[in-house]
Amino acid sequence: MKKQAFLLFTVIALVSTTFVSCGSAEKKQEGPIETAKEQYQCPMKCTEEILDKPGTCTVCGMELEKITKS
């Protein structure tokens, strides 16, 4: 009887450990997300001006192009 109880405890411990590790793995994904800073610049590069939001070039009026920081 005692052996069975120990076995049951082991199984429960194993299962709960699996659930806990799963939960922490999901939490890791929720962690601080590195948001790539969006930058926009005129595709013709009329100016060196780089904006952090979409818009139009103040020189040629073209739609600003998104720059991906490398």
**Cβ-defined contacts of 17-20 (< 8 Å, 24+):** none
In the bound state with Zn ion, the residue whose beta carbon lies nearer, of 20 and 44, is 44
| CA–CA dist 35, 33 (Å, integer) | 6
Min separation Cβ 68 and Zn ion, Å: 19
| CA–CA dist 43, 51 (Å, integer) | 13
Q: Is 64 in the site for Zn ion (CB under 5 A)?
A: no
Q: Give the residue, chosen from 41, 46, 51, 65, that forms a contact with Zn ion under the rule CB under 5 A.
A: 46
The span of 2-10, 11-19, 21-29, 40-48 binding Zn ion (CB under 5 A) equals 40-48
CA angle 26, 32, 33 (to 5 degrees): 90
Residues within the interface to Zn ion (CB under 5 A):
42, 44, 46, 57, 59-60
